[in-house]
A and B are shown apart, each in its own frame.
Chain A
Amino acid sequence: MSRVNVVKEFIIENFLFGEGESLDLETDFFDKGIIDSTGVIELVDFLEKSFAISVDDEELIPQNLSSLQKIDVFLNKKLAQKVA
């Protein structure tokens, strides 16, 4: 399963309780109310554990976390840094 699909599955399971039809790559989690303030903590915790990364304080911004696409770009960057 691709990385973005792993994240998508987590979002569908935990925040949409199985209803994923309306979720596409650009869907904004915050605008659409998919993830609330406590949900962000769950999401970051999931990303750190699943991809063995550590998210820095300054990276915890909507530009990195507010959609599947943004998370994908962010993960690519983080994992590339890790390899390097």
Chain B
Amino acid sequence: MCGIAGILNLGKEQPITPNALRRMVSIQHHRGPDESGAYIDNNIGLAHSRLSIIDLSEGTQPIHNEDKSLWIIYNGEVFNYPEIRQELVKLGHKFYTTSDTEVILHLYEEKGINCLSELNGQFAFAIWNSNSRTLFLARDRVGILPLFYTIQNKRLYFASEIKAIFCDEEIPRELDLESLDQIFTFWTTLPGKTIFNNIRELPPAHYMLISPNGITTNKYWYMNFLNNTETFYRKTDDLVNEISETLTDAVRIRLRADVPVGTYLSGGLDSSALTETVKRKFNNELRSFGIRFENKNYDEGSFQNEMVNYLGVDHSEIVISNDDIATNFEDVLWHTEKPLLRTGPIPLFLLSKLVNQSGYKVVLTGEGADEVFGGYDIFKEAKIRNFWAKNPDSKLRPLLLARLYPYIFKDDRLNQTLIAFFKSGIENPDDPFFSHNIRWKNTGKIKNFFSEQVKDSNRNYDGYSELMNLLPPSYSDWDIVTKAQFLESMIFLSNYLLSSQGDRVAMAHSVELRVPYLDHRVIELLGKVNSEIKINGLNEKHLLKKVFKDRLPASILNRWKNPYRAPIHKALLNSTMSLVKEYCSEQSLKKSGLFENVKVARLISKLEKSNSAGEFDEMALVGIISTQIIHENFIQDFQYNYSESDSFNQFFDYRSVNQKFTKVV
């Protein structure tokens, strides 16, 4: 994978300098350390930094078509490119590389924007048509790879990472307080938003056309689910076989690379199933990588070891300490480019470092299986609460919650009080956010730490209304579990799991993640299956377990699912307390003006005194510190190293003579 960046003049021709592009590429060097290239004409500058995975010798970008009227910079992988290429060759297209990049360009030449429906992969790219002076930006269906843009000073700037856009000092850097409200409610920003004012993200499954006639943004694919009456109700052998074959093919095409491909193995069902498929069907020499925790409450080592022994994979692991979490927090936030309410991305940042040091550039991961096959506790919680809603006075129905959350209901004495929490909203099962209201309401309480200025600014802002506007028309026809699946996929999967915990922390160490469970054929197939057989009773991912019934040990298939989490309380308040001293001091809080100093001090004092911390206090702690770090490193003191002597490996200069010699201050 790679990093892309560009500047397009929207009005009169303003000179675009190679240096401006070099800065943009240089700051996201980690995305593409192998080589770089650029194209400039009087209207546009395109730049690319490359992590070579397919066609190592010839795939240098930008790549052009036969008559050099079309130019592409591309971050990603299209896994079905050999098949598409064959078709294009038959149609007379001439290729000068064997890369997937050139295939996309010719497919666009052939089919225009309809090319997107044929691509199976993960991508963000820009194609420039120099004849029609039209720029085409597009992003993959579920948002595996990032693409940000801003329109300012009669220019459109775009890049794989926001920091590249900020390299132009004329771009103002300010926090978007509505986005902050979103993160402190939904755990991340809603599609299209970033934590920075006027910096937008092209949402998943969207493309943008920018031509002299104007700018249009459209959606080209929908994560669709059938209405209940139309779904497959029966778990026939045919259905299980079809899922098995589709998944196997999704893995097969994701092993296409000119470098070795490894897997992440956590010991959970999803990564175990994935690693089994690769090892047993495709690559007997497989390397796998896993995370361990010093703190046994978070460690899944026994399951991991069991799978390593069962499959005989060559496994490497890192062991994460509390200090690792604190020490790497600032670096991780430089890459996530948004505040967090969890520390989960930090171990994955360190895991990608291990992968890189092991000489690997590509790993397959199990991300997406929970969303597609129905794995999350919140789906089951919604199911139980819906069942309870039909008989709200039942004493037995809510007790199912204790089966679902044994770690919350660990003290029997508190059962009745805990049940009262989950009863909230039960009288309204038709609420579009029935499944998530409790989570979001509880999270939203941490907004109480916002300063009066922030509260005032957001007084009339309502994130729920903004979210309502993003729901598809068919949403109201879906059952409660399906609605929950959609919300998880649209919000948390795309904007956190694939981003803050996915691409961003993997590419920090030049590692590409590939996610077979999010092959669009798998998503579309499972979209037709009724949620009752995805989650059979309270048995999550029932169909995935059926597929792997004879392929994985029973202890892995039947194990209790633990959410992946990393330590917070004792990690961020470690022995040195350095993060708290630096970012939660009265002076630091005053400087950002985002949080109320007295309340933050009380929170820290409470956590310092206690041995354990509740969910609310931990979310508040991570949210406050991470927002402060983002503010310091992106708003207050944005710094980057850049040497003007860095040169592009390939540079196409199509500027007029006048522009080449225009000095830009």
Binding site for B on A (CB under 8 A): 13-14, 16-19, 30-31, 33-34, 36-42, 44, 55, 57, 60-62, 65-66
Contact = CB atoms under 8 A, between A and B. Distances in A.
Of the listed residues A33, A34, A37, A38, the one surrounded by the most CB atoms of chain B closer than 10 A to its CB is A37
A17 B603 contact: yes
B408 interface: yes
A38 B417 contact: no
B606 A57 contact: no
Interface in B376-423: 408, 411-418, 420-421
Query: Nearest 10 A-B pairs (CB), nearest first?
Result: A38-B614, A17-B599, A62-B420, A57-B413, A17-B602, A61-B416, A60-B413, A40-B417, A33-B445, A36-B616
Given A30-B420, A33-B442, A36-B615, A41 B414 contact: yes
Contacts of B598: 17-18
Given A31-B424, A60-B413, 18 more contacts: A17-B598, A17-B603, A18-B599, A18-B602, A30-B417, A33-B444, A34-B445, A36-B614, A36-B616, A37-B408, A37-B421, A37-B615, A38-B615, A39-B614, A39-B616, A55-B413, A57-B412, A61-B417
Interface string B595-609: 000111011001000
B486 interface: no
A36 B421 contact: yes
B264 interface: no
B615 A62 contact: no
A76 to B, nearest CB: 20
Nearest to A57: B413
B448 interface: yes
A62 B602 contact: no
B441 interface: yes
B449 interface: yes
B414 A60 contact: yes
Given A18-B598, A18-B599, A62 B616 contact: no
A69 to B, nearest CB: 17
Contacts of A66: 420
A18 B601 CA distance: 10
6 contacts: A19-B448, A19-B599, A36-B442, A37-B615, A60-B416, A66-B420
B616 A16 contact: no
B186 to A, nearest CB: 16
Given A19-B448, A33-B442, A38 B424 contact: no
A42 B416 contact: no
A55 B417 CA distance: 13
Contacts of A16: 448
A62 B417 contact: yes
A57 to B, nearest CB: 4
A49 to B, nearest CB: 14
Contacts of B602: 13, 17-18
Interface centre among B411, B416, B444, B448 (most CB of A within 10 A): B416
B416 A17 contact: no
Contacts of A37: 408, 414, 417-418, 421, 614-615
B411 A41 contact: yes
Nearest to B415: A60
Contact of A17 (B421, B444, B448): B448
Q: Which residue among B411, B421, B441, B606 has the maximum number of chain A CB atoms within 10 Å of its CB?
A: B421
Interface in B443-497: 444-445, 448-449
Nearest to A63: B416
A39 B620 CA distance: 14
Report which residue of B445, B599, B600 has the largest number of chain A beta carbons within 10 angstroms of its beta carbon: B445
A61 to B, nearest CB: 4
Contacts of B416: 60-62
Nearest to B612: A38
Of residues B413, B417, B444, B603, which shows the largest number of chain A Cβ atoms within 10 Å of its Cβ? B417
A64 B31 CA distance: 57
A60 B600 CA distance: 31
A18 B444 CA distance: 18
Contacts of A33: 441-442, 444-445
A39 B421 CA distance: 11
Interface string B346-387: 000000000000000000000000000000000000000000
A37 B614 CA distance: 8
A38 B418 CA distance: 9
Nearest to A32: B445
A19 B615 CA distance: 20
Nearest to A39: B614
B388 to A, nearest CB: 16
Contacts of A38: 614-616
A41 B441 CA distance: 20
Given A37-B408, A57-B413, A62-B417, A14 B606 contact: yes
A35 B491 CA distance: 26
B21 to A, nearest CB: 47
B65 to A, nearest CB: 58
Nearest to A34: B445
A44 B449 CA distance: 25
Nearest to B602: A17
B472 to A, nearest CB: 30
Contacts of A34: 445
A28 B170 CA distance: 50
A17 B420 contact: no
A55 B414 CA distance: 11
Contacts of A18: 598-599, 602
Contacts of B408: 37
A28 B291 CA distance: 42
Contacts of A65: 417
Given A30-B420, A60-B414, A62-B420, A42 B614 contact: yes
B535 to A, nearest CB: 23
Q: Among A17, A19, A33, A38, which residue has the most Cβ atoms of chain B within 10 A?
A: A17
A42 B600 CA distance: 19
A19 B420 CA distance: 25
A14 B607 CA distance: 10
A35 to B, nearest CB: 9
Contacts of A60: 413-417
A57 B415 CA distance: 9
Given A17-B449, A19-B448, A31-B424, A40 B414 contact: yes
B450 to A, nearest CB: 11
A8 to B, nearest CB: 15
A55 B416 CA distance: 14
Contacts of A42: 614
A41 B421 CA distance: 13
B421 A30 contact: yes
Nearest to B442: A36
A54 B614 CA distance: 23
A22 to B, nearest CB: 10
